[in-house]
Structure 1
Amino acid sequence: MIDSKEYIKQHVRTVPDWPQAGIQFRDITPLLQDPKVFRALIDIFLARYANANLNYVAGLDARGFILGSVIAYELNLGFVPIRKKGKLPFHTISEEYDLEYGSATVEVHTDACKQGDRVLLVDDLIATGGTMLAGKKLLERLGAEVIEAAVIVDLPELGGSKLIEQSGLKVFTVCDFDGH
């Protein structure tokens, strides 16, 4: 019998040389397309966070929105979108970070959470860790306590999960991909 984490890993598609040569892109869309796999994936997160005493789930633009909003709904919590620069209509704070192939900026509304709120930070994948660390910094600037970073896929050879843990944030991953 296959365990649930291996079941999820088998449904992650690898797209070579995307978005540029040399990148092995880990595509989660097959997980979302199959309702049984998607349910199994969400159930992994629900089992982990059902008793975590959270106020919000924050999702990183854009695939973190898919996971985070479903997790928030199932746990009866609010959802905080952390978006790419220029996409939020109200007052925001921003954080710039480096990607494995460039740089970017993310923003959050200034009223997204408040001092003492406990927040789970969700995305689809950790590569270099820049996006997750930027999200953590934004939430902490608003006074929230980020209790854990949760993702489907970790790419440990790129060092992101190690950097996140060195920042003091625990990381939960469903599966990882070493090498190619």
Structure 2
Amino acid sequence: MSKHAAIESEDVAAERSTRAAEMVDQLTRWRDDFPTPGVRFADLTPVFADAEGFRAVVDCLAGCAPDADLVAGIDARGFLLGAGVAATLGTGVLAVRKAGKLPPPVINREYSLEYGTAALEIPADGVDLRGRRILLLDDVLATGGTLAAAAGLFHQAGAEVVAAAVVLELTFLNGRDRQGDYPLTSIVRI
């Protein structure tokens, strides 16, 4: 699929989404009490390490915004997804980094976590983001702070988030409620 591909049928899109969800369900490795007691960690590493699983996920995510002109992946697993989706769409990719990982000047946005605060950054120069149509990607949507903060960075830079997508959404944490008016796709919702 490229960003110049013809519009596909709903049946083809549904089939692609179903295949990706099956692969994620089959390959995700779950670990209880990691990284802290009471947390159940969804490790997507086996999904990304499997050629068929990774391709299914990338194709599904690329279908979320075939008209995007830049893909942004959130630190760190979003980098893997972003690169694959950007290559599929024929666009560039931008890494949304954790604070302190990019040289200045940067645009910085702090956000709340269940256990404190964190911050994300994108370059303030070197990449003109004004008017760009962004597909924003992350691996997991939990409480929603990370994805919302990243979207805020692009808004601040003058870009438009045309869609956001994640591999896995933990619906019981209500992270979707913190998102903007852009379409949000989850391959698997738990």
Q: Which residue of 2 aligns with 1:20?
A: 36
Larger deviation, residues 26-35 vs 5-14: 5-14
- Per the alignment, residue 125 of structure 1 pairs with 140
Pairing 1:91–2:105 present: yes
**1:42 counterpart residue number:** 58
Query: Taking structure 1 as reference, are residues 93 and 48 closer, same or farther at Cα in structure 2, changes over 3 Å only?
Result: closer
In structure 2, list runs of 5 or more residues that go unmatched. Answer: 1-17
Between the aligned partners of 1:143 and 1:34, the Cα distance in structure 2 is 37
Aligned equivalent of 2:173: 158
Q: Secondary structure at the match of 1:30?
A: helix
TM-score by length of structure 2 reads 0.85
Out of 90, 106, 113, the position equivalent to 1:76 is 90
SS in 2 for 1:123: strand
Query: Does the CA-based 8 Å contact 2:70-2:92 persist in structure 1?
Result: yes
1:6 aligns with 2:22: yes
Post-superposition Cα deviations, 1:55-86, rounded to whole Å, max 9, x if no partner, equal 20011000100101111122111111110110
Superposed CA RMSD in Å reads: 1.8
User: Structure 1 residues 47, 171: closer, same or farther in 2, change over 3 A?
Assistant: closer
Give the TM-score normalised by the residue count of structure 1: 0.90
Q: CA deviation at 1:10?
A: 2.0
**Counterpart in the other structure of 1:135:** 150
2:185 counterpart residue number:
172
In the TM superposition, residue 89 of structure 1 has moved relative to its aligned partner by: 1.7
| Matched residues, number | 173
In the alignment, is the contact (CA less than 8 A) between 2:33 and 2:40 conserved in 1? yes
Identity of paired residues, percent? 39
Gaps of 5+ in 1: none
Q: Secondary structure at the match of 1:168?
A: coil
Shift of 1:119: 0.2
